[in-house]
A and B are shown apart, each in its own frame.
Chain A
Amino acid sequence: DIQMTQSPSSLSASVGDRVTVTCRASQGISTYLAWYQQKPGKVPKLLISAASSLQSGAPSRFSGSGSGTDFTLTITSLQPEDVATYYCQKYDSAPRTFGQGTKVEIK
């Protein structure tokens, strides 16, 4: 099975900072990569599909890039409401493995 590895596992940044989270697949998955945002005590929310397509209603400060095995989630200007854990997930085929998550906090 393809493994999904996220880094870092956690980060702390200041409001307004640019934040980058990476996700690596152990084999190529084209662009079948999604990013989810899970705020504390809430249900995960789909943020980005197809590696770079921002979901309707998601703030434009979020963006995704990559294909094959290496993917990136970027927050261009971190806001207090972005405090959450972010997960990547492959959905090219089963199993739809998730990365282990990246917890984003405000410094």
Chain B
Amino acid sequence: QVQLVQSGAEVKNPGASVKVSCKASGYTFTGYYIHWVRQAPGQGLEWMGWTNPKSGDTKYSETFQGRVTMTRDTSISTVYMELNRLTSDDTALYFCTRGSPVGGSRWPSDYWGQGTLVTVSS
């Protein structure tokens, strides 16, 4: 069965960086885009960007452009999301989700990771 398993909770100081991992299983890793979505406490869902695990191509929300990097390691079926220059506004639950098939029709996020809580506090 399809699974996305994310790394554990992180506590960071303002100005630091955080790198969250998302390990995929149960399907062909390079066959589907991976998106990242975050949710601040008590708030709605915010789309951050996607990575193509096959090519490594990325597309980021303008909100995070210049501060986020999404990468992948095909040897271990894992994608990463690194966010720099953290502030308290970045305190949120970060989700990885599976999106469209690579080279296929557009498709929403059908599988979600369990979420990784990132807390930014001094």
Say whether A associates with B.
Answer: yes
A contact set with B: CB distance below 8 Å: 1, 32, 34, 36, 38, 43-46, 49, 55, 85, 87, 89, 91-92, 94-101
Residue with the highest number of chain A CB atoms closer than 10 Å, among B46, B62, B109, B110: B109
B106 near A98: Cβ-Cβ < 8 Å? no
Q: Which residues of B contact A43 (CB under 8 A)?
A: 95, 112-115
The chain B residue with its CB closest to the CB of A87 is B45
B72 is an interface residue with CB less than 8 A from chain A: no
A sample of 9 more A-B contacts (CB under 8 A), given A49-B108, A89-B45, is: A36-B45, A44-B112, A45-B112, A49-B107, A94-B50, A95-B62, A98-B45, A99-B44, A101-B44
Contact with A along B88-122 (1 / 0, CB 8 A): 00000001000110000011111011110000000
B30-86 interface with A by 8 A CB criterion? 35, 37, 44-47, 49-50, 59, 61-62
Task: Report the Cα distance A96→B112, complex, angstroms.
Answer: 15
Q: Which residues of A contact B113 (CB under 8 A)?
A: 43
Task: Report the Cα distance A36→B112, complex, angstroms.
Answer: 11
B106 CB → nearest A CB, Å: 6
Q: Which residues of A contact B95 (CB under 8 A)?
A: 43-44
Task: Report the Cα distance A44→B109, complex, angstroms.
Answer: 9
Task: Report the Cα distance A46→B62, complex, angstroms.
Answer: 25
Pairs across A and B, CB under 8 Å, 29 listed:
A1-B62, A34-B108, A36-B109, A38-B45, A43-B114, A44-B95, A44-B109, A44-B112, A45-B112, A46-B108, A46-B109, A49-B108, A49-B110, A89-B45, A89-B47, A89-B108, A91-B99, A91-B107, A94-B50, A95-B61, A95-B62, A96-B35, A96-B47, A96-B50, A96-B99, A96-B108, A97-B47, A98-B37, A98-B45
Known contacts A43-B95, A43-B115, A100-B44; is A94 also within 8 Å of B59 by CB?
A: yes
Q: Which of B45, B47, B100, B108 contacts A95 (CB 8 A)?
A: B47
The chain B residue with its CB closest to the CB of A92 is B106
Q: Which residues of B contact A98 (CB under 8 A)?
A: 37, 44-47
Task: Report the Cα distance A101→B100, complex, angstroms.
Answer: 23
